[in-house]
């Protein structure tokens, strides 16, 4: 290839090659804070608490909806009527939820267990035989709230879903399709094994109820007004000899959430009013009153910022980044990716013009003009970025919150880091991509 030709070729480049020495140091420093955030915010409620703490510490304006949705806002030089700049990420991750009547005993195995109902798109076989923690709240009969967090401290007990030994799994698992091998109903969590003393009916169940009453003052009926989520009990860790990667639960969408949180906290004097918005229930289709499908919270924020403003006009003038992760090219399975248009770990933040499935169904397809605008922002600031499409055409697909905000008349584009093993209990990101995301959101919110 001649010198002249190569000038016009679109080439992907590793962020590790683009970053200066100083930026690489910042990349590693950023990752330390990021890991702490992942460990502290494994659920949507915990994420809101962390966001609240950070906003308070930096004296930033924060608005909260039902402890499950939050927004941090920085007023711009221009009036609200000229539109907003918003980065939106989601704070829920795939997991197992306890059912409303979860506790039962299996006298044949001498165990007490919790029934669960899985939340979001999981591969069920990934959730057995790993250490699990319980996070959430219980609202008792008297209205008092118990915060549940069991399994994170080294001294805490952990929990787990059991699985069949290979010696006996041939007929019931090994010869079945992987999707049928582990049933949703069998994702039950072991919670105890000492029987209650005396003449009681369900000895193992009774013993656990007694313990829960002693420790938390709760009864079995209290589970009905509870939200207890079962999540991996381990902490975020560096991965690889070079420590370039992070392995952890909840990086979809913890990576974008933390990057956009840091971006808004560090932002000074933006042109337009800037906002980082954190929403719930993305993993189950953004249904509910603290989600991207319901714009009431956003409308109420705009109204509070300027009561005289025409909200629809503000939305039409607003620009949005849908900050969600993309599927990184996965070793040994490259056949499901169209490699020219797929994202890889380490090449920076991923820009997706569209998502969806089939013939771009259910996609937000950002306009070429808006893509150009974002591309220019990233290039000017020398931020590593790449394009990304979720798999080959007709191989599958997926969506983000982008479409719900474009429906409101806003310009929206998907921009987030790539993730390996997405939706698994142990997702992997590149530190360089997470830091690129922070730089990208910062630059976008400034303009």
Q: Which residues bind Zn ion (CB under 5 A)?
A: 252-253, 324
- Which residue's CB is nearer to Zn ion, number 46 or number 324? 324
The CB density around residue 193, as the number of other CB atoms within 10 Å, is: 13
Q: What is the closest distance, in whole angstroms, from the C-beta atom of residue 325 to Zn ion in the complex?
A: 5
- Which residue's CB is nearer to Zn ion, number 44 or number 252? 252
- How far apart are the C-alpha atoms of 185 and 181, rounded to whole Å? 12
- Which residue's CB is nearer to Zn ion, number 387 or number 400? 400
Beta bridge partners of 226: 138
- Which residue's CB is nearer to Zn ion, number 90 or number 446? 90
Positive or negative: CA dihedral 335, 337, 342, 343: negative
- Which residue's CB is nearer to Zn ion, number 222 or number 427? 427
Q: What is the closest distance, in whole angstroms, from the C-beta atom of residue 90 to Zn ion in the complex?
A: 6
Q: What is the closest distance, in whole angstroms, from the C-beta atom of residue 401 to Zn ion in the complex?
A: 8
Phi, psi of 399, deg, nearest 5: -140, 170
Q: How do beta strands 189-192 and 226-232 pair?
A: unpaired
- Which residue's CB is nearer to Zn ion, number 102 or number 418? 418
41: left (phi over 0), alpha (psi -120 to 50) or beta: beta
Q: What is the closest distance, in whole angstroms, from the C-beta atom of residue 375 to Zn ion in the complex?
A: 22
- Which residue's CB is nearer to Zn ion, number 95 or number 205? 95
- Which residue's CB is nearer to Zn ion, number 86 or number 302? 86
- How far apart are the C-alpha atoms of 226 and 266, rounded to whole Å? 36
- Which residue's CB is nearer to Zn ion, number 97 or number 324? 324
Q: What is the closest distance, in whole angstroms, from the C-beta atom of residue 427 to Zn ion in the complex?
A: 10
- How far apart are the C-alpha atoms of 363 and 356, rounded to whole Å? 4
Q: What is the closest distance, in whole angstroms, from the C-beta atom of residue 398 to Zn ion in the complex?
A: 8
């Amino acid at each position: 290839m001649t010198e002249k030709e190569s000038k016009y070729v679109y080439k992907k480049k590793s962020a590790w090659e683009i970053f200066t020495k100083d930026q690489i140091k910042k990349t590693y420093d950023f990752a330390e804070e990021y890991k702490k955030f992942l460990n502290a915010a494994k659920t949507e409620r915990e994420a809101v608490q962390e966001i609240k703490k950070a906003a308070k510490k930096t004296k930033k304006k924060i608005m909260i909806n039902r402890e499950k949705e939050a927004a941090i806002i920085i007023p711009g030089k221009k009036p609200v009527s000229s539109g907003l700049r918003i980065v939106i990420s989601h704070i829920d991750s795939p997991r197992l939820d306890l059912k409303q009547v979860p506790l039962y005993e299996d006298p044949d195995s001498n165990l007490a267990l919790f029934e669960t109902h899985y939340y979001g798109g999981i591969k069920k076989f990934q959730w057995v035989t790993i250490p699990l923690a319980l996070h959430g709240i219980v609202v008792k009969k008297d209205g008092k709230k118990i915060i549940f967090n069991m399994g994170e401290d080294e001294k805490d007990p952990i929990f787990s879903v059991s699985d069949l030994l290979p010696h006996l799994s041939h007929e019931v698992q090994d010869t079945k399709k992987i999707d049928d091998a582990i049933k949703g109903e069998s994702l039950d969590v072991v919670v105890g094994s000492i029987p209650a003393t005396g003449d009681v009916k369900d000895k193992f169940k009774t013993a656990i109820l007694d313990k829960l009453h002693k420790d938390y003052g709760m009864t079995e009926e209290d589970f009905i007004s509870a939200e207890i989520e079962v999540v991996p009990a381990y902490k975020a860790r560096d991965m690889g000899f070079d420590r370039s990667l992070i392995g952890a639960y909840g990086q979809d969408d913890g990576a974008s959430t933390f990057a956009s949180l840091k971006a808004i906290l560090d932002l000074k004097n933006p042109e337009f009013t800037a906002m980082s918005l954190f929403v719930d229930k993305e993993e189950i289709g953004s249904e509910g009153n603290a989600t991207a499908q319901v714009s009431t919270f956003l409308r109420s924020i705009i109204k509070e910022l300027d009561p005289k403003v025409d909200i629809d006009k503000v939305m039409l003038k607003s620009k949005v980044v849908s900050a969600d992760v993309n599927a990184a090219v996965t070793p040994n399975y490259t056949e499901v990716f169209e490699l020219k248009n797929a994202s890889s770990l380490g090449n920076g933040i991923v820009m997706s013009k569209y998502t969806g499935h089939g013939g771009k169904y259910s996609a937000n397809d950002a306009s070429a003009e808006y893509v150009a605008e974002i591309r220019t922002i990233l290039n000017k600031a020398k931020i590593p970025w790449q394009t990304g499409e979720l798999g080959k055409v007709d191989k599958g697909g997926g969506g983000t919150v982008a479409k719900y905000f474009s429906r409101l008349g806003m310009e929206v584009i998907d921009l987030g880091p790539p993730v390996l093993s997405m939706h698994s209990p142990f997702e992997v990101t590149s530190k360089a991509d997470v830091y690129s995301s922070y730089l990208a959101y910062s630059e976008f919110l400034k303009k």
